Amino acid sequence: MIRWRRARLAAAREETPTARTLVFDVEDWPGHLAGQHVDVRLTAPDGYTAQRSYSLATPEGVELTVEGLPDGEVSPYLVGELAVGDEIELRGPVGGWFVWRPAPTPVLLVAGGSGIVPLMAMIRARRTAGSTAPFHLVYSVRTPADRYYGDELDRPDPGLSVTPLYTRVEPRRRIGKDDLPEPGPDVFVCGPTGFVEAVADLLLDRGHDPGRIRTERFGG
Amino acid sequence: MHLDGNALAGPLGEIFAVDITAAVGRCANCGMKGPVATLRVYDAGPGLVARCPRCEEVVLRLVRGPQEAWLDLRGTVSLRIPLQ
């Protein structure tokens, strides 16, 4: 059984003008798999609670990247107010399906916006494990400035290739069938629900085996 | 906009000893088999409602109160649960 744990903010850094990466100290963290997530719970002084799920961004430690949504109940606090030393409640790691375990099979990752977070955990886990499995990332995001982990993704990482698609920079590029490779790799898709549904349809059109496509939708 | 069964991992993790989202369930309405993680999950109401991605029938409902959880599995014939 999973229980709520106290998590203390140990460090934070700006990822983009609207997103922040948060590093937490969590006592007795049991470790996790790349792709897993946590539930975060905030409690107001009057007892009102709000809860959201966030993917773990790294294969080790508890690191989340949170996009501040203007009308959000939890994210504006996590991005704009939570200070180093502050505590929140967190439950996890959870999710045993949308996970990558080190294996030699080629992998295709398709990210829409902040859907990059669990996929970045997989890229980092591959590096940590010294895996030579070929990874290809297709990253659809509004503009170059909206990319998370930009510097890290720009650095050479043998066996990893990255195709960025910018939806708000000319030529405005929506993901299409030709952006996706032929069947063969295991596929992980994460992003807003509409994006994930569109990519899943494109993958099936392209002939990918539905049994090798794993998806995670975060609404929107 | 709906989520998917991955979002059930925390709420069900509070109840079960093993991860249920990786379990393969069978829809009582259309017979489709697939991981719980692939269900369509709606969280706008007071609880969570999970529907079959093929026939959209309700497969599972979960309501969490202060002292208890109420899990309704009316639309699930079976769950094949991986045990590590």
- The ipTM value here is 0.95
B1 CB within 8 Å of a chain A CB = yes
Q: B36-76 pLDDT, tens per residue?
A: 999 999 998 889 999 999 999 999 999 999 899 999 999 99
Please state whether the predicted TM-score (pTM) of the whole model is above 0.90: yes
- Expressed in angstroms, the distance from the first to the final Cα of chain A is 29
| Exposure string for A83-115, b = 16+ CB within 10 A, e = fewer | eeeeebbbbbbbbbbbbbeeeeeebbbbbbbbb
Residues of B in contact with A218 (CB under 8 A): 3
Q: Which two tokens stand for residue B54?
A: 């093929």
Predicted local distance difference test score (pLDDT) of residue A2: 87
Predicted local distance difference test score (pLDDT) of residue A219: 82
Choose, out of B6, B12, B64, B79, the residue to mutate when testing the contact with A (most A CBs < 10 Å).
Answer: B6
More confident position, B84 or A181? A181
Residues of A in contact with B6 (CB under 8 A): 37, 53, 95, 97-98, 216-217
Q: A49-69 pLDDT, tens per residue?
A: 999 999 999 999 999 999 999
Query: Is residue B84 over pLDDT 80?
Result: no
Tell me how close the Cα of B3 comes to any Cα of chain A, in angstroms. Answer: 5
Instruction: Report the alpha-carbon distance of residue B37 to residue A55 in Å, rounded.
Output: 15
Query: Is residue A1 over pLDDT 80?
Result: no
Instruction: Report the alpha-carbon distance of residue A23 to residue B16 in Å, rounded.
Output: 28
Q: How many CB atoms lie within 10 A of CB A22?
A: 24
More confident position, A130 or B84? A130
**Percent of chain A having pLDDT more than 90?**
96
Residues of B in contact with A39 (CB under 8 A): 10
